[in-house]
Chains A and B, each alone.
Chain A
Amino acid sequence: MQQKDVLPTKPKTTASAPAVAENITGAEAVIRSLVAEGVDTIFGYPGGAIMPIYDALYDFQDTVHHILVRHEQGATHAAQGYARSSGKVGVVFATSGPGATNLVTGIADAYVDSTPMVCITGQVAAALLGTDAFQETDVIGITMPITKWNIQVTRPEDIAPAIAKAFYIARSGRPGPVLVDITKNAQFAVTNFEYKPCSYIRSYSPTPELNQEQIAAAALAINDAKRPYILCGHGVLLSGAEKALIALAEKAGIPIASTLLGLSAVPTSHPLYVGYLGMHGNYSPNINTNECDVLIAVGMRFDDRVTGDVSKYARQAKVIHIEIDAAEINKIVKADVAVHADAKAALEALLPLVNAEKHEEWLASFREGDKLEYEKVQQNELHPKAGGLTMAEVIRRISEKTEGRAILVTDVGQHQMVASRYYQFRDPNTNITSGGMGTMGFALPAAMGAKVGAPEKEVVAIIGDGCFQMTLQELGTINQSQIGVKIVILNNNFLGMVRQWQQLFFDKRYSSTEMINPDFVQIAKGFFVEAKKVSSRDEIDAAVDTMLAHKGAYLLEVVVEKEENVFPMVPTGAGIGEIRLD
Chain B
Amino acid sequence: MQKEYTVTVYTEDRIGITNRITVIFTRRQINITSLTTAETEIPGVYKFIITVLSTREKLDKVVGQIERLIEIHRAFVHEEDEVVYQELALYKIATRNLNNHNIEQLIRDNNARILTITADYVVIEKTGHQQELLSMLKQLEPYGLIEYSKSGRVAIVKWSRRFHEHLKDLSLKQAEL
Contacts and interface: CB of A to CB of B under 8 A. Distances in A.
Interface of A: 140-141, 144-145, 148-149, 152, 169, 199-204, 325-327, 329-331
Contacts of B164: none
A326 B19 CA distance: 22
Contact of B23 (A144, A199, A200): A144
Interface of B: 11-12, 15-16, 19-20, 23, 27, 60-61, 64-65, 67-68, 70-73, 170-171, 173-174, 177
A331 B70 contact: no
Interface centre among A140, A152, A327 (most CB of B within 10 A): A327
Contact of A327 (B11, B64, B71): B64
B72 A203 contact: yes
Given A202-B170, A326-B64, A327-B65, A169 B177 contact: no
A149 B60 CA distance: 22
B173 A144 contact: no
Given A140-B16, A144-B23, A200 B177 contact: yes
B64 A203 contact: no
A326 B60 CA distance: 11
Contacts, number: 48
B59 to A, nearest CB: 13
B29 to A, nearest CB: 15
B70 A148 contact: yes
B173 A200 contact: yes
Contacts of A329: 64
A202 B68 contact: no
Nearest to B68: A327
A204 B173 contact: no
Contacts of B177: 199-200
13 contacts: A144-B19, A152-B15, A202-B12, A203-B72, A203-B170, A204-B70, A326-B64, A326-B68, A327-B65, A327-B67, A329-B64, A331-B61, A331-B64
B174 A144 contact: no
Contact of B60 (A148, A203, A325, A330): A330
B73 A203 contact: yes
B16 A144 contact: yes
Contacts of B27: 145
Nearest to A169: B70
A325 B16 contact: no
Contacts of B65: 327
A149 B70 CA distance: 7
Which of A144, A203, A325, A329 gathers most chain B CB within 10 Å? A203
A278 to B, nearest CB: 22
B19 A330 contact: no
Contacts of A141: 16, 19
A387 to B, nearest CB: 46
A206 to B, nearest CB: 9
A325 B68 contact: yes
Given A149-B70, A200-B177, A202-B174, A327 B19 contact: no
Contacts of A204: 70-71
Contacts of B71: 203-204
B2 to A, nearest CB: 20
B67 A326 contact: yes
Chain A CB count within 10 A is highest, among B65, B68, B71, for: B68
Contact of B20 (A144, A199, A202, A325): A144
Given A144-B23, A152-B15, A202-B73, 8 more contacts: A145-B23, A145-B27, A169-B70, A203-B12, A203-B72, A326-B67, A327-B61, A331-B61
B24 to A, nearest CB: 8
A202 B173 contact: yes
Contacts of A203: 11-12, 70-73, 170
A201 B70 contact: yes
A152 B27 CA distance: 24
B51 to A, nearest CB: 22
B90 to A, nearest CB: 31
Given A327-B61, A327-B64, A327-B68, A202 B16 contact: no
